Amino acid sequence: MPTEILMPALSPTMEEGKLSKWTVKEGDEVAAGDVIAEIETDKATMEVEAVDEGKIAKILVEEGTDAVKVNTPIALLLGEDENESDLEEAPSGDKGSKANGGSAPSAPEPEAKGKEPQKEDEKLGRKDGPVSVLVAMDKAEPPEDPDVPEGTEFEEQTVREALRDAMAEEMRRDGDVFVMGEEVAEYQGAYKVTQGLLDEFGERRVIDTPITEHGFAGLGVGAAFAGLKPIVEFMTFNFAMQAMDQIINSAAKTLYMAGGQMGCPMVFRGPNGAAARVAAQHSQDYAAWYSQIPGLKVIQPHTAADAKGLLKAAIRDPNPVIFLENEILYGQSFPVPKLDDFVLPIGKAKIARKGSDATIVSFGIGMTHALKAAEQLAEQGIDCEVIDLRTLRPLDIETVIRSVKKTNRCVTVEEGWPQNSIGSWIASQLMVKAFDHLDAPVLSVTGKDVPMPYAANLEKLALPSAKEVVEAVRAVSYAD
């Protein structure tokens, strides 16, 4: 049976084109790969190649014909064992094999096409209804923090020491864990977070890199693809912008693009946000940026205990984790439980202060302002509940909603810029999921919408402060 040669498409959007020229005539023998015709659209001219060998038995569309629809038979090809008499068998497009040996391009419809979106949601096990934005990570409640046994001793540790202990413990536990970055080994860490690791683990596992973020982030991704568990330290996350393509396109997306075959079990960590007087290029909060990316988990702890428990969890997690630290917090001390293996759940917010009048939601260094403001507000008779998100993706919005159902008011605090901030996402989620419980619009206290200035007074003005949080809470409480 003759094979139909079909009008090809030059692009997925092409519907028709001009068959401008035949470079073969009836009776010609062609081999696979031979150019047989040229077709033209308003954008380009392309050559059509034969895919099978045989004889051009009949040209069905003359050259110069305009507006030939894609997939129209344009010629008939006779195979080796066929002759002219076979031609009569295939006069229409329904009979005879297509150029491809298969039937025409009738891609099966996705099963759920045409169904109502709400039903689709139910099928996916989601009960949010059609109006809410579906998020891949919305699912059952995250586990609670493990109980710290009664009588457990606590020791005062800086965030810096807690982070180092977390890495050291995980490196002792798993030989596939290693740390690499600028100045992490011999210099003992630009901010001394990796202090002592080289001595204990040696240069095979504690690796000084050249100052090439794009390259070593990508190298870390490759090592993780191979099954190792790299901890890639960025001297600060400002420099990770050079590595953004590897973080997002390679680390975050590969599991999905590989249909689950291979993921990227690694941690990117380092200080994030403003330090002190280092100006615009070295003072940016990336929390909102990374929190937008499906495939990444994003953590930004405040206390030393959370830093330790969550970094250990991040290193064990089989997904790429962005672990945002803060230079100013490195030196601050908090009680850390003295336990052999203190691991906290990723994706669980913590109520840092119980209260009933208004909810303040923050994370990282923003918690400093939030807690300070809560103290001042308590003196003014407003009893605030303060929630430390700890993880920004997956975001524990349920804990926030539960609190807001009690307080009916919410203020968010972060160092990043206002547009598309973590606060604006929380506000939108509260509007969707707790609209009837809100007695006031959600207010967000953020960094100002300017690059970070150098001058001491201007820098102070650019950053959020406890004073601003107090004002915002008083505003949502209609206290003034």
Partner 1 sequence: MAAAKTPSQTGTGQRRSRSRSQNSSAKTRGKANENGNPPVGATAERPNTETAEKSAFDPIVFSKDEDLKAYREMLLVRRFEEKAGQLYGMGLIGGFCHLYIGQEAVVVGMQMALKEGDQVTTTYRDHGHMLATGMDPKGVMAELTGRRSGYSHGKGGSMHMFSREKNFFGGHGIVGASVPIGTGLAFANRYRENDCVSITYFGDGAANQGQVYESFNMAKLWSLPVIYVIENNQYGMGTSVARASATTELCKRGESFDIPGHQVDGMDVRAVKAAGDFAAEHARSGKGPMILEMLTYRYRGHSMSDPAKYRSKEEVQKMRTEHDAIEQVKKRLMESHGMSEDDVKAVDKEIRGVVNQAAEFAQNDPEPDPSELWTDVYVEA
Show contacts with partner 1 in window 68-127 (CB under 8 A). 70-71, 98-105, 107-112, 120, 123-124
Q: Which of residues 363-422 bind partner 1 (CB under 8 A)?
A: none
Q: Which is nearer to partner 1, 304 or 346 (CB)?
A: 346
SS3 413: strand
Contact 232, 315 (CB under 8 A): no
Beta strands per DSSP E along 316-430? 321-325, 333-337, 350-353, 358-362, 384-388, 391-393, 410-413
Applying CB under 8 A, the span of 148-156, 312-320, 368-376, 397-405 interacting with partner 1 comes to 312-320
Interface with partner 1 (CB under 8 A), residue from 146, 215, 418, 453: 215
Q: What are phi and psi of 273, to 5 degrees?
A: 90, -170
Site string for partner 1, 168-187 (x = CB under 8 A): ----------x---------
Interface with partner 1, residue 221, by CB under 8 A: yes
Interface with partner 1, residue 259, by CB under 8 A: yes
CA distance 59 to 19: 12
Q: Compute the least distance from the CB of residue 263 to partner 1, in Å.
A: 5
Q: Which is nearer to partner 1, 110 or 381 (CB)?
A: 110
Catalytic residue among 38, 282, 468, 471: 282
CA distance 60 to 155: 86
Q: Compute the least distance from the CB of residue 144 to partner 1, in Å.
A: 15
Count of residues interacting with partner 1 (CB under 8 A): 80
Q: Compute the least distance from the CB of residue 284 to partner 1, in Å.
A: 22
Q: Transcribe 217-285 into DSSP letters.
A: HHHHHHHHHTT-EEEEEPSSTTGGGGGHHIIIIIIITHHHHTTTS-----EEEEE-S--SS--GGG---
Q: Which of residues 4-33 bind partner 1 (CB under 8 A)?
A: 6, 8-12, 32-33
Interface with partner 1, residue 318, by CB under 8 A: yes
Contact 352, 388 (CB under 8 A): yes
Burial class (CB in 10 A: 0-12, 13-18, 19+), 114: exposed
> Does the annotation mark 111 as catalytic?
no
> Does the annotation mark 213 as catalytic?
yes
Interface with partner 1, residue 224, by CB under 8 A: yes
Q: Which strands form 16-22's sheet, in the order they lie side by side?
A: 45-49, 35-40, 16-22, 65-69
Contact 218, 254 (CB under 8 A): no
Interface with partner 1, residue 290, by CB under 8 A: no
Enclosing H/E stretch for 154: strand 154-158
Q: Compute the least distance from the CB of residue 225 to partner 1, in Å.
A: 5
Query: Facing residues of 353 across strands?
Result: 386
Q: Compute the least distance from the CB of residue 278 to partner 1, in Å.
A: 25
Q: Which is nearer to partner 1, 219 or 339 (CB)?
A: 219
Sign of the CA dihedral running 321, 325, 330, 335: negative
Interface with partner 1, residue 214, by CB under 8 A: yes
Interface with partner 1 (CB under 8 A), residue from 263, 271, 273, 416: 263
Interface with partner 1, residue 49, by CB under 8 A: yes
Interface with partner 1, residue 223, by CB under 8 A: yes
CA distance 138 to 405: 19
Applying CB under 8 A, the span of 40-48, 194-202, 267-275, 414-422 interacting with partner 1 comes to 40-48
Q: Which of residues 435-454 bind partner 1 (CB under 8 A)?
A: none
Catalytic residue among 4, 161, 213, 414: 213
CA atoms within 13 A on the CB side of 112: 9
Catalytic center residues: 213, 282
